[in-house]
Amino acid sequence: MKRLTILCAALTTVFTAVANASSDKYDKKVAQDIAKYRTFFANKFPNVKNFGEYKDGVYAIDAKAREQWIEIEDFPPYELSIDEGKELFEKPFANGKTYASCFKNGGINIRHNYPHFDTKTNQVMTLELAINNCRTSNGEKPLGYKKGKIAALSAYMASTSREQKFNVKVPNEAAYKAYLDGKKFFYSKRGQLNLACSDCHMAITGSKLRADIPGPAIGHATGFPVYRSKWGELGTLHRRYGGCNKNVRAKPFKAQSAEYRNLEYFQTLMSQDMDINGPSVRK
Amino acid sequence: MKVKVKAKEKDGVVKAKVLIKHAMETGRRKDKKGVIIPAHHVTEVKAEYKGATIFSAEFGAGVSKDPFVKFQFKGKAGDQVSVSATDNKGQTGKSEATIK
Amino acid sequence: MKISRRDLFVKLGKGAAYVAVLASLPKIAWAKWNAKAFASTDLKAAIEAKYGNMSISDSDKVILDAPEIAENGSVVPITVSSSLPNVSSMSIFVEKNPTPLVTSFAMGKNSINEVSIRIRMGTTSNVVLLVEADGKLHRAQQEVKVTIGGCGG
Amino acid sequence: MKLIKVSIIALVLSLSNVAFAGGDVNKVIAKAESTLKQASKSGFEWTTTAKLIDGAKKAAKGGDSKLAMKLAKKALKEGENSLIQAKYSEMHWQDYAPK
């Protein structure tokens, strides 16, 4: 038995080495994680036939809540924010340039390229970080990361990329490290309540936690920014991360900290091949 | 006040959807210092079609933030429908849409 | 009708009478915001302020479409409709809200009697729809459970 | 005279007692603070701990050394627990990932 295991391991190693002259070695490793992750949810929610449905968050598994959600998505309150975001996006900076000058394809239909691992700076580049980098490189002050203008800009950019699929790469060792860091964050217990992200969004999801059903973790990154009924406004993914951490009484990290960016990287990789569905409405 | 209207006709019936950007303060909420935020909400919404009012609504503070209302009337594609809103501080907003 | 400043102050001094003053201002043909009805703090008073003493009967020709359990009390989607002829108004009340009258729709002759709206509910409560047609009120009601309240928190 | 002497001794004793208790509280508060700092560094600070320390400091200032001690000890315990949590997570996080 032990021999067999060793043989298998050896074969896998050989296979990996031969198949990829190392460049997509990390993609392969992550792909195995994705497969396990999907199997977990497939077993948990056998009624969800296609993992793509998880782009709708908790509404993929809660039929009653889904009806109300669809009704609100019919003319969602974030539409006004998309308009605001478009205006901001098109308004020139003091130097005459616009956001379009900082992004591929003028910033349109590119949401699914974020987050990505920037091999020049060896860090996870999120859309919101890229927006502020664009501002500062054009002599403008950076925006706050949780809500308001940055959420509106992000909402507009997401709205132009709907139904594009996430295709996140893990280009090098540093990227894989960032991925592992995010993964570790996700499965680590935190706060006075001693809960990991995975406790609520994998183990408990589908059943009630107090009065609420926590959403399945798969697809978490697809719908942001979101207009939460609880907030009464649009907010970014990192604002939500902060809220989640506070809910378990763990001191939150700063929006766009390395911790949250790595977590976003991990979560987006777990949402690989899923549609961009942001902005969207959540309770 | 920002008002957005979408209208679509099918079989002679126009479905018009209205979204208004408004805080809809109830007058019962307190700010961070514990001071009550005065009531500030939309009170009236009026829709006009071919020079006549075809629908109107009165809102109290019990209507959700960023109010949404969907109403229907007999009309046809290509025509205009205009919607105006007023709040209890006398601020107004107006928007027009071509029926699709 | 004319109200002198002095009158107004006297009435304001009497507290609640202030809404009555607003409500007694001359009515304009299309919906003039009914301050008294919207300020009433119980269902019966709100209905009276809105409709006076019109008779009310339950009717299966008025339909209140509301969720059994609200996702979030601050945004509860509601659709009201009626197959009755000559509908002139439809009003939605949430019995346990601090002020039960939420909204009132005035229907014209070319209106189709179906309106959707998103409302706030502070807690689990009966939602009451009153449809005014031919001088009578027709009622439908339903309980909506709220787990996350829409009035703060 | 004897009586006065005795009372002075008693007074001194009680004073030193207070002073000792105060120093003790301050020691516990300081320890709670340094533990919290470590927890914060590890990324596992709880939102509740700093508030307890603030409460302890306030109580100490207000002369309620009993309450101050209670809060400081609680804060210290929380700080220690967050460090245990950090260690546990470091060792066991993989157990929670799907196999």
pLDDT average, residue stretch C101-120: 94
How far is B13 from C132, CA to CA, in rounded Å?
Answer: 22
Q: How far is A87 from chain D (nearest CA, A)?
A: 38
Q: What is the ipTM of this complex?
A: 0.75
Chain D residue numbers with beta carbons less than 8 Å from the beta carbon of A242 are none
Identify which of D75, D44, B30 has the alpha carbon closest to the alpha carbon of residue A184. D44
pLDDT of residue A61: 86
Average pLDDT, chain A: 89
Tell me if chain C has a CB within 8 Å of the CB of B62.
yes
Identify which of C77, C109, C105, C111 has the alpha carbon closest to the alpha carbon of residue B72. C111
CB contact under 8 A, D98 and A202: yes
Please, which pLDDT band fits residue D99 given cuts at 50, 70 and 90? confident
Q: Which residue in this structure is represented by tokens 């609100």?
A: A72
pLDDT digits (tens, 9 = 90+) for A72-107: 888 899 999 999 999 999 999 999 999 999 999 999
Active site residue A134: no
Q: Which residue type is seen at D8?
A: I
Contacts by D13-20, CB closer than 8 A, 24 or more apart: D18/D65
Beta-carbon contacts of D83 under 8 Å, excluding residues fewer than 6 positions away, are: D35, D38, D39, D42, D44
How buried is C88 (Cβ within 10 angstroms: 0-12 exposed, 13-18 middle, 19+ buried)? middle
Peptide bond into A279 cis (omega under 30): yes
Pairing of strands C101-107, C87-94: antiparallel
Please state the pTM of the whole predicted model. Answer: 0.80
CB D85 within 8 A of CB A194: yes
Q: How far is A29 from chain C (nearest CA, A)?
A: 39
Domains of chain C are: 35-146 (2.60.40.2470)
Torsion of CA D92, D95, D96, D99, to 10 degrees: 160
How far is A145 from A131, CA to CA, in rounded Å?
Answer: 10
Q: What DSSP string runs through chain A? A: -HHHHHHHHHHHHHHHHHH-SSTTHHHHHHHHHHHHHHHHHHHH-TT---GGGGGGGGGGT-HHHHHHHHHHHTS-TTHHHHHHHHHHHHS--TTS--GGGGSGGGGTT-GGG-SEEETTTTEEE-HHHHHHHHHHHTTPPPPPSSBTHHHHHHHHHHHTTTT-B------SHHHHHHHHHHHHHHHS-BTTTTB-HHIIIIISTTS-BTTB-PPPSTTTTTT-SEEETTTTEEE-HHHHHHHHHHHTTBPPPPTT-HHHHHHHHHHHHHTTTPBP--SEEE-
Is residue C141 over pLDDT 80? yes
Phi-psi region of A210 (alpha: psi -120 to 50; beta: other; left: phi over 0): left
Identify which of C85, C24, C89, C101 has the alpha carbon closest to the alpha carbon of residue C54. C89
Write the CA distances from B27 to B21, B41, C152, integer angstroms.
18, 9, 11
- DSSP label at B90? S
Chain D residue numbers with beta carbons less than 8 Å from the beta carbon of A37 are 98
Neighbours of chain A (3+ CB pairs under 8 A): B, C, D
- DSSP label at C24? T
pLDDT of residue A210: 67
CB A54 within 8 A of CB A48: yes
Please, which pLDDT band fits residue A174 given cuts at 50, 70 and 90? very high
Is residue A9 over pLDDT 50? no
- Tell me which residues of chain A, numbers 130 to 149, contact chain B at a CB-CB cutoff of 8 Å: none
pLDDT of residue C13: 41
Q: Which of A133-147, A204-218, C72-86, D30-44 has the lowest mean pLDDT?
A: A204-218
pLDDT of residue D51: 96
Pairing of strands B92-98, A280-282: unpaired
Q: Any idea what the Cα angle at residue C121 is, between residues C117 and C124, rounded to 5°?
A: 125
Instruction: Compute the half-sphere exposure of residue A70: CA atoms within 13 Å on the CB side of its CA.
Output: 9
Please, which pLDDT band fits residue C125 given cuts at 50, 70 and 90? very high
- C103 is written with which tokens? 């909204």
Q: How far is A211 from chain C (nearest CA, A)?
A: 6
Chain C residue numbers with beta carbons less than 8 Å from the beta carbon of B57 are 31, 103-106, 115, 117
Q: Which residues pair with B3 in a beta bridge?
A: B20
Beta-carbon contacts of C44 under 8 Å, excluding residues fewer than 6 positions away, are: none
Q: What DSSP string runs through C56-116? A: EEE-TTEEEE--SEES-TT-EEEEEEE--SSEEEEEEEETTSSS-EEEEEEE-TTEEEEEE
pLDDT average, residue stretch D69-78: 96
Please, which pLDDT band fits residue C149 given cuts at 50, 70 and 90? low
pLDDT of residue A11: 44
Give the three-class secondary structure for B64: coil
How far is C52 from A233, CA to CA, in rounded Å?
Answer: 38
**Tally of CB atoms within 10 A around A109:** 15
**Tally of CB atoms within 10 A around A96:** 8
Please, which pLDDT band fits residue D22 given cuts at 50, 70 and 90? low
**Ranges of residues in chain B whose predicted pLDDT is under 70:** none
- Tell me which range, A6-10, A18-22, C47-51, D6-10, is most confidently predicted by mean pLDDT: C47-51
- A230 is written with which tokens? 């609880």
Q: Who among B2, B17, B65 is closest to A75 (CB)?
A: B17
Q: How many residues does chain B have?
A: 100
Identify which of A53, A101, A262 has the alpha carbon closest to the alpha carbon of residue A168. A262
Domains of chain A are: 25-76+170-282 (1.10.760.10), 79-159 (1.10.760.10)
Peptide bond into A225 cis (omega under 30): yes
Write the CA distances from A6 to A16, A17, A30, A259, integer angstroms.
15, 16, 21, 35
Please, which pLDDT band fits residue C10 given cuts at 50, 70 and 90? very low
Q: Which residues pair with B24 in a beta bridge?
A: none
Residue of A nearest to D91 (CA): A188
- DSSP label at C119? E
How far is A169 from D91, CA to CA, in rounded Å?
Answer: 28
Is residue C8 over pLDDT 70? no
pLDDT of residue D18: 44
Domain ranges for chain B, please list them: 2-98
Is pLDDT larger for residue C35 or for residue D48?
Answer: D48
Q: Who among B4, B23, B65 is closest to A79 (CB)?
A: B4
Please, which pLDDT band fits residue A65 given cuts at 50, 70 and 90? confident
How buried is D1 (Cβ within 10 angstroms: 0-12 exposed, 13-18 middle, 19+ buried)? exposed
- A13 is written with which tokens? 């190693």
Write the CA distances from A268 to A219, A248, A272, B2, C80, integer angstroms.
8, 22, 6, 34, 41
CB contact under 8 A, C30 and B67: no
- A31 is written with which tokens? 């792909």
Share of chain A above pLDDT 70, in %: 91
Please, which pLDDT band fits residue A22 given cuts at 50, 70 and 90? low
Cα separation of the two ends of chain D: 83
Phi-psi region of B34 (alpha: psi -120 to 50; beta: other; left: phi over 0): left
Q: Any idea what the Cα angle at residue C52 is, between residues C48 and C55, rounded to 5°?
A: 95
pLDDT average, residue stretch D49-70: 94
CB contact under 8 A, A68 and C77: yes
How buried is D13 (Cβ within 10 angstroms: 0-12 exposed, 13-18 middle, 19+ buried)? exposed
Q: How far is B44 from chain C (nearest CA, A)?
A: 7
Is 2.60.40.10 the CATH number for B2-98? Answer: yes
Peptide bond into C98 cis (omega under 30): no
Neighbours of chain D (3+ CB pairs under 8 A): A
